[in-house]
Amino acid sequence: MPTTRRISLTQYLVEQQREHGRIPGELRLLIEVVARACKRIAIAVNKGALGDVLGSTEQSNVQGEIVKKLDLIANEVLIEANEWGGHLAAMASEEMDSIHVVPNRYPQGEYLLLFDPLDGSSNIDVNVSIGTIFSVLRKVGHARGVSEEDFLQPGRQQAAAGYCVYGPQTTLVLTLGNGVAMFTLDRETGSWVLTAQGVQVPEDTKEFAINMSNLRHWDMPVRRYIDECLQGKEGPRGKDFNMRWVASMVADVHRILTRGGIFMYPWDKREPDKPGKLRLLYEANPMAFIVEQAGGAATNGRERILDLQPRKLHERVSVVLGSRNEVERVTAYHRDAA
Ligand code: AHM
Ligand code: MG
């Protein structure tokens, strides 16, 4: 539902706190700090070649992927912005081998922040939408200190999740477990303005997003689903489908939140031991939380993503998310095959 009154992110958070009592002060600070960091990242992204931010570094990350300059910049901006506020115990990032505990010189809070600092890295240099994805957990238990195990909580325990898409507009999408709101960055005033709330993903769709070049590597249920879509009106679905693949999960999910669709990054047999390409803690969990909060669904083909028990920080997972009826269909095809 688009909104007409001009409401800033701060005002939205204060109102949520008042009306629903669901945002402790520390969580509010955390969201505001992440949003401010996203603004800084947006500025760097916009500078492009003028800011010498394009291209790769000489490093590769824990997943063996080449790290782009902007991956590193975004990672540093998020760490620097978040470590001193007293709201966090530790952070985990797709770009760091292990967790980053808040240094002793700062007070430690009770939240854990997880992020993919710059999602869609392959699109940075070609000026296509990219983004930042984040997830917030509460540190459970009262043990002193913080360890990797504290991060291994199922996604349903997230206190908040969101993403920022750096595209033609800079948009921050947020859930606190109470529906989904979108904020657009007003570059003239530098503030995040609420531009949609109560976002709903349509239950049905005629649009799918998958990297078709991997078709020959997929499992039968995914092949069956896509094959039926491709048969269009003449096939069992009785309707024509459209395909979109931005190769930035943030942009593909944003389209789905805006007009429906299904997004899949399934397991494939190139690397049979890896459950998929995307990461459970930094990508799948926050996106699944947002999509479910908007009335959509998210599974790994078999189980609800938010119910998966993570076993390690950089765990990967198959992802099927978006319009509820389509996600249920793909999940049913996996059940049939089993
Ligand atoms: P990244 O976090 O290193 O950018 O990788 C994740 C991205 C997703 O945004 C996107 O859905 C996928 O990788 C694209 O993969 P492909 O290169 O197969 O199109
Ligand atoms: Mg990513």
Residues 54-63 have pLDDT tens digits of: 888 888 887 7
Angle at 291 between CA 72 and CA 1, to 5 degrees: 110
- The pLDDT, as a whole number, for residue 23 is 86
- The pLDDT, as a whole number, for residue 164 is 98
CB 246 within 8 A of CB 253: no
CA distances (Å), 292 to each of 161, 202, 323, in order?
12, 12, 10
- The pLDDT, as a whole number, for residue 271 is 84
Of 45, 70, 165, 249, which is best to mutate to test ligand 1, by the most ligand atoms within 8 angstroms of its C-beta? Answer: 249
- The pLDDT, as a whole number, for residue 3 is 55
Query: What is the position in ligand 1's atom list of the atom closest to the CA of 63?
Result: 3
Query: What is the position in ligand 1's atom list of the atom closest to the CA of 245?
Result: 19
Closest ligand to the CA of 283: 2
Residue 214, classified by CB atoms within 10 Å of its CB into exposed (0-12), middle (13-18) or buried (19+), is: middle
- The pLDDT, as a whole number, for residue 88 is 96
| Residue 139 tokens, joined | 């540190």
Q: Maximum CA pair distance of the chain?
A: 66
Residues lining ligand 1, Cβ inside 6 A: 65, 94, 116, 119-122, 211, 247-249, 265, 277
On the question of a common fold for 9-197 and 207-337, the answer reads: no
For the chain, the structural domain boundaries read 9-197, 207-337
3-state secondary structure of 222: helix
Residues near ligand 2 ion, CB 5 Å cutoff: 116, 119
CA distances (Å), 93 to each of 24, 215, 309, in order?
24, 30, 18
pTM: 0.96
CA distances (Å), 197 to each of 84, 135, 156, 193, in order?
31, 19, 21, 11
The DSSP element (H or E) to which 101 belongs, if any, is: strand 100-101
- The pLDDT, as a whole number, for residue 20 is 76
- The pLDDT, as a whole number, for residue 222 is 97
The pLDDT tens digits along the chain (338 residues) read 555 679 999 999 999 988 877 788 899 999 999 999 999 999 999 999 898 888 888 888 877 788 888 999 999 999 999 999 999 999 999 999 999 999 999 999 999 999 999 999 999 999 999 999 999 999 987 677 899 999 999 999 999 999 999 999 999 999 999 999 999 999 999 999 999 999 999 999 999 999 999 999 999 999 999 999 999 999 999 999 999 999 999 999 999 999 999 999 999 888 888 889 999 999 999 999 999 999 999 999 999 999 999 999 999 999 999 999 999 999 999 999 98
Fold designation for 207-337? D-Maltodextrin-Binding Protein; domain 2 (3.40.190)
- The pLDDT, as a whole number, for residue 57 is 84
- The residue type found at 218 is W
Of 118, 211, 282, which is best to mutate to test ligand 1, by the most ligand atoms within 8 angstroms of its C-beta? Answer: 211
CB 17 within 8 A of CB 29: no
- The pLDDT, as a whole number, for residue 293 is 98
Fold designation for 9-197? Fructose-1,6-Bisphosphatase; Chain A, domain 1 (3.30.540)
Of 129, 134, 277, 280, which is best to mutate to test ligand 1, by the most ligand atoms within 8 angstroms of its C-beta? Answer: 277
Closest ligand to the CA of 132: 2
Please state whether beta strands 207-209 and 242-243 pair in parallel, antiparallel, or not at all (unpaired): parallel
